[in-house]
Amino acid sequence: MDEIVFYIGQGDPTDKHSQESYSYVTSLHTSKQYASFRQSDSHVNGTGITGTGPGERVFCGVPNKALIHVYSWGKEGVDQRIPVPEELSCLTLINHPAGQAQELQSVTSYRVPWLLAGGSKSGKLYIWELSSGNLLCVKDAHYQGITVVKASSCGMFLVTGGEDARCIVWNLAELISIYDRSSTGDDTAVVKPYWQITDNTLPITDVLMNEAAVLNDLKLYTSSRDSTVRIYDVMTKSCLTTFILPDSVECITRDPANRALYVGLSNGLIRTIPLYTINPHTSVLESVGGMNKIVTVDQDPNLTNTFVAHQQQQQQQQQQGGEKDRTAVTKLAISLDGTNIISGDTQGRVFVSDVVTKQVVKTFTPCNSTISYIAVDTVPNGFDLSGNVTSTGSKDKKHRMIPNFKRVLASTNPEDHQVFLDIPGKVTTKDDDFDAWLNRKQLEELEFKNLSGISSTVKQLGNGASNSELEEKLQKVSQAYTELRTKHEELIKEHAKLLDKL
């Protein structure tokens, strides 16, 4: 199994070289580069990726244009240019919650997610249905521009953060329920936010939600330019912890095991915020914060919780008479096992740093502008990421195009809502019993743990034996050992008698 990193630059319309920017898909553990996309740029948080491999797509909100560029795997150029009502500053893709439980069905040849949500600089929130292009929601969400849009993994909540220092949690079903409004006879019904967070004083830069199996464990993490990182409980609508950093926070990511938070600062540093610490008096592992507690993250002169790779590069450039501007960390991502941090800055550099040693272990091909989006995904060994046409390539070619997005709200008449999709066929499995399923999961876990490509399994010789047979074998071994020990004692006595005679 291998991990791949997708990263893209922001671009600068005034710079000719920046307009010829590339986004790259490269391996995290090897030197292999899988793919690249030409003339690809987007706002910070303005990119969405459906997955990796043939049939998957990359959506980019074009800066200074009311367009969305769609890229397909295996094609470097823009596959589609979809016009939108206005320039979108941030994007996110939302998968249908009902599709997550269909494990025994093959993937449809029309591989698109469910919804695409985007925020504009005017503060409006747009939601389209990708399979039909219908505009399901237009909402004046913020007083100023929207900087980030994220959805929960369960598909129940949508979170928007804006330059007006507000973070709003929406109930996604209420935003897109156009048919419920028609049943009440009020097509202009006002959808109220589930929760409005007004704790910050400067623009929201990034939001993050954990993948909770239980809805009561859903947490919201926000970062702001007022140098704070806050953790909220979504169901109780309460603030759990507020972390105060020494500089403004530009991005945030979370450890997969929820052990720590990693935040990128505007001064080029990456700080680690431990969520658990050992009590020096009781030697017990305790959680940090809770109950609306305010925790100040002090300076770190010994660099025990600080990554300094981006700041060191800036200092080297300044010594050589190069770039004088301040370097900020714009995007962060973390590997699947939580051992590597992937970070991008305003100079277009992307580094991979080890979490334990805080040292850079790999450097990727830089972009011509600020890094605006980083995504990490896993693929099996030998997986074809080139996007070449396979046996199902004809269907992928036929259904590859995304319908153009509508500029007016969808009709509230259910008869006008038509979606054409290929019905997925069921996967036929030879072993349907629980033991076979358990063995398959064990092999998958072994492949997940093994990143070196060497497969090793433990074989059990023999067909096994019952408890009575094992007891009988044990009794024979004990009897033989007793006889051998008796013979050994007799020989020692005879040897002692011979010594006495001498």
pLDDT digits (tens, 9 = 90+) for 454-466: 555 555 555 555 6
From residue 502, how far is each of 304, 480, 490, 491, 495 by CA, in Å? 74, 34, 19, 17, 11
pLDDT digits (tens, 9 = 90+) for 155-172: 899 999 999 999 999 999
Binning pLDDT at 50, 70 and 90, where does residue 443 land? confident
Please state the rounded mean pLDDT for residues 320-345.
84
Give the pLDDT of residue 389. 41
Helices (H), 14-129: 16-19
For residue 294, the tally of other CB atoms under 10 A from its CB is: 12
Residue of higher predicted confidence among 444 and 402: 402
Q: How high is the pLDDT of residue 254? A: 94
CB contact at 8 A, 143 and 123 = yes
Amino acid at 332: L
Bridge partners (DSSP) of residue 278 are 285
- The token pair that represents 359 in the structure block: 């040292």
Q: What is the pLDDT of residues 256-312, one digit of tens each?
A: 999 999 999 999 999 999 999 998 888 898 999 888 999 999 888 888 899 998 887
Distance between CA atoms of residues 300 and 337, nearest Å:
26
Residues with Cβ within 8 Å of 140's Cβ and at least 6 positions away in sequence, in order, are 123, 124, 125
Question: Per-residue pLDDT for 31 more than 60?
Answer: yes
Phi, psi of 448, deg, nearest 5: -65, -40
Of 29-38, 130-139, 153-162, 446-455, the one with minimum mean pLDDT is 446-455
The helix or strand, by DSSP H or E, that contains position 147, with its residue range, turns out to be strand 146-151
Cα(405)–Cα(136) distance, integer angstroms: 10
- Assess whether pLDDT exceeds 70 at residue 425: no
Rounded to whole angstroms, the Cα distance separating 68 from 41 reads 10
Task: Report domain extents, the chain.
Answer: 2-98+108-387+397-416
What are the structure tokens assigned to 127, written together?
């939601």
Q: Is a pLDDT exceeding 70 seen at residue 96?
A: yes
Which top CATH class is 2-98+108-387+397-416?
mainly beta
Q: What percent of the chain is predicted at pLDDT more than 70? A: 80
Neighbours of 1 (CB within 10 A): 16
The pLDDT tens digits of the residues spanning 177-228 come to 876 665 555 555 678 999 999 999 999 999 999 988 788 899 999 999 999 9
User: Which of helix, strand or coil describes residue 45?
Assistant: coil
Percent of the chain with pLDDT over 90: 43
- Confidence class of residue 436 from pLDDT cuts 50, 70 and 90? confident
Residue 236: pLDDT band (50, 70, 90) is very high
Please report, for residues 245, 269, 271, 305, 442, the alpha-carbon distance to residue 300 in angstroms, rounded to integers and kept in the order given: 11, 11, 9, 7, 42
Higher pLDDT, 467 or 98: 467
**What confidence tier does 499 reach under pLDDT thresholds 50, 70, 90?**
confident
Q: Which residue spans within 309-456 are E strands per DSSP? A: 329-334, 340-345, 350-354, 360-363, 371-379
